[in-house]
Structure 1
Amino acid sequence: MADKQLVLQETHKNLMALLTSKQEAMPKDFNQTRFLQNCMTVLQDTKDIEKCQPISVARTLLKGAFLGLDFFQKECYAIPYGSSLQFQTDYKGETKMAKKYSIRPIKDIYAKVVREGDFFEDEIKEGQQIVNFKPLPFSNNPIIGAFAIVLYQDGGMEYETMSTEQIEGIRNNFSKMKNGLMWSKTPEEAYKKTVLRRLTKKIEKDFESAEQATAYEESADADFKKNEENAKRNAVPDILYKQEEVIDAECREVTEKESSPFDVKDGEK
């Protein structure tokens, strides 16, 4: 079994090298030092992290950096799956990205679940979209659907609705982790994130780099191209990752003088 501190140490070095080599692809307000510290803090408490390959961990964390999302603030997650990690955004991360990268300035964006007994209607009246929602207070009734709304600063709005059957269909057929913690422990958040993601796909975005756009596409819980994935990876080089020997070279460029909070002293296990 791999030693957890050794995995963290190697991950720290790999991530530092990748962040340095990809500085131009980061958001303009990206704080590399804070991001690195927050990542390592989260990894300390990540179950089974010692089973993962350090370079795989670093690559997964890099996606959060490209999007300007913070793992420590739970805007996104790195979830162990075998010897690698699955990168997923949280509901908070989805709203943050929509506001940050939308070409049309957003005033507010949110999602809600609809339970049995709640009042919900949507209609188009005289060419205007209208959504009315009045939930029962503190209701724990079964969820029958969810909706998401984006309000633009120019007064416009867009919305998306999905029934429970539609959401569960996406979960069962396309979710990368259909039995993961989000679906099994916090289904309300999973429902909101699913309908919100469908809405945000409609929002025209202006990413600052190709790496950001690629990371955004890969951040969804649902994978609608499962059957094409292997063929695509064999045919097209992944823009996020360099060849193994190049990455190894970048990692070696991290100077020995840069101290790491996860250095393991000789003789320690």
Structure 2
Amino acid sequence: MANNELVLQQKQIADSVEKKVSLFVKEGQLDLPGDYSPGNAMRSAWLKLQEVQTKDYKPALEVATKDSVANALLSMVVQGLNPEKNQGYFIMYGSKLTFQRSYFGTMAVTKRVTGATDIVGQVIYEGDDVTYDLTNGTIKNLVHKQKFGNINKDKIIGAYATVVMPDEKENHIELMTFEEITAAWSQSKMWGKDQKAPKAGSTHDKFAQEMAKKTVINRACKNFINSSDDSSVMTEFFNKQSDEIKEAEVAEEVEEKANTEYFEAHYTEVNEDGEIINHEEKPVHENNEAPTEQDPF
């Protein structure tokens, strides 16, 4: 795509997104933060998009449909996020560009929607003493006693996250067993069919504590936002992400299966929180035996 064509496309899409956002604001469906500039965020996004490629190394903006680019930017702006702050990533699935909110983006939206002052995750190890009360299915008064000697990435039995609310408002606590956490990780396409645990040397093996925290924080944020009274367009776009990613993955898989050509493909490993955690090249045989040594997230 010639440079002047790219500039024209950028202007047309940016104008379209800004018009849609202005309409949401005018109709009272969207309240963007005072320090958030949609224009600045989109300029940052366009710079990031210059670096995004398809699996066969083509520039994303030469392949992605105009509608998918506009929708990806709209999702970013409506959620008040900026890729420059690592709050989200642009990822190609076939000819569709998607915006995938990161772990940092999820926390930013949660704080904005709920008024939370902090979001904290903690890991539970074998030997730790954890007690809490259950009131109508809600965890309250959680007390966690831990000895320093218990800390061991190979002895994690669970994790919890606390969405800290201001003043006298009640905090939200989410608790997950390690089995639930690994079940979440196993939803990745990079996770083997009969795999039960992270492969040795993978990101989830080497940094198990941090990945466990991120997983439980991600769930806490989603559940807390959906339990709030907020019905804004921001919440709608927050919840749309998972469905859009799944639809794009299915469309890409159908497209790839129709192609029997052998080629070198970029594999970008993205965790359930939207963060790119590994980038590598692997040969792919379409409609033949699947590649083996893949790291799960």
Superposition TM-score, scaled by structure 1 size: 0.64
Q: Is the Cα–Cα contact under 8 Å of residues 16 and 36 in structure 1 kept in the other structure?
A: no
- What is the DSSP-based 3-state SS (H/G/I as helix, E as strand, rest coil) of the residue aligned with 2:85? coil
Give the one of 195, 198, 216 matched to 2:219.
Answer: 198
> Cα distance 1:12–1:171, how it changes in 2: closer, same or farther (>3 A)?
farther
- SS of aligned partner of 1:72: helix
Whether contact under 8 Å (1:124, 1:130) holds in the other structure is yes
Q: Provide closer, same or farther for how the CA distance between residues 118 and 169 of structure 1 changes in structure 2, counting only shifts above 3 A.
A: same
Partner SS state of residue 167, structure 2: coil
Q: Which runs of 5+ in 1 are unaligned?
A: 230-269
Give the ranges of 4+ consecutive aligned residues of structure 1 lying more than 4 Å apart after TM superposition: 2-9, 125-128, 135-140, 183-186, 220-223
3-state DSSP class of the match of 1:69?
coil
- Aligned equivalents of 1:67 and 1:18: distance in 2? 13
TM-aligned CA distance change 1:141 to 1:199, over 3 Å: same
Q: What whole-Å deviation, never above 9, does each CA across 1:83-108 have from its counterpart, x for those lacking one?
A: 11333222211221111111xx4232
Are 1:56 and 2:45 counterparts?
A: no
Q: Aligned in 2, Cα 1:21/1:124: closer, same or farther, shift over 3 Å?
A: closer
Aligned equivalents of 1:144, 1:172: Cα separation in 2 = 17
SS in 1 for 2:224: coil
Distance 2:154 2:6 in 1: 45
Are 2:123 and 2:156, in contact at CA under 8 Å, matched by a contact in 1?
yes
Structure 2: any 5+ residue segments left out of the alignment? 25-29, 55-59, 192-197, 251-297
Q: Corresponding residue for 1:109?
A: 119
Superposition RMSD on alpha carbons, in Å?
A: 3.8
Q: Percent identity?
A: 23
Give the Å deviation of 1:205. Answer: 3.9
Q: What's the secondary structure of 1:153's corresponding residue?
A: coil
Question: Contact 2:68/2:98 (CA < 8 Å) preserved in 1?
Answer: no
Corresponding residue for residue 293 of structure 2: none
Q: State the 1:206 CA deviation.
A: 5.5
- Whole-Å separation in 2 of the counterparts to 1:135 and 1:17: 56
Q: Does 1:13 align with 2:23?
A: no
- 1:181-192 equivalences in 2 (<5 Å): 186-187=203-204, 188=208, 191-192=212-213
Within the candidate set 179, 182, 190, 2:190 is matched to 179
Per the TM alignment, residue 148 of structure 1 is displaced from its structure 2 partner at its CA by 0.8
CA distance in 2, matches of 1:136, 1:10: 56
| Kept after mapping to 1: 8 A contact 2:126/2:157 | no
The residue identity in structure 2 corresponding to 1:14 is I
- Confirm or deny that 1:45 pairs with 2:55: no
Q: Classify the secondary structure of the residue corresponding to 1:86.
A: strand
2:174 to 160, 171, 175: 160
- Residue 190 of structure 2 aligns to a residue whose secondary structure is coil
Higher RCO, 1 or 2 (CA under 8 Å, sep at least 6)?
1
Distance 1:125 1:71, change over 3 A: closer
Distance in 1 between the 2:10 and 2:134 partners?
Answer: 55
Distance 1:213 1:39 in 2: 21
CA distance in structure 1 between the partners assigned to 2:233 and 2:144 by the alignment: 39
The alignment covers a number of residue pairs equal to 217
Mapping 1:64-143, distance limit 5 Å: 64-102=76-114, 105-114=115-124, 116-117=125-126, 119=128, 121-124=130-133, 129-132=141-144, 134=146, 136=148, 139-141=152-154, 143=156
Deviation at 1:171, TM superposition (A): 4.0
SS in 2 for 1:141: helix
Q: Is the 8 A contact 2:89 2:100 kept in 1?
A: yes
Task: Decide whether the 8 Å contact of 2:140 with 2:173 is kept in 1.
Answer: no
Q: Which residue of 2 aligns with 1:145?
A: 158
Alpha-carbon displacement from aligned partner over 1:158-202 (angstroms, at most 9, x marks no partner): 2111123213323445xxx5439xx99643565434322322223
Deviations 1:235-256 (A, max 9, x none): xxxxxxxxxxxxxxxxxxxxxx
Cα deviation digits, residues 200-246 of structure 1 (max 9, x gap):
22344465x743222011134898x98xx9xxxxxxxxxxxxxxxxx
- How far residue 31 of structure 1 moved from its aligned partner, in angstroms, is 0.9
- 1:121 offset after TM fit, Å? 1.4
Name the CA shift for 1:67/1:144 in 2 (closer, same or farther; >3 Å): same
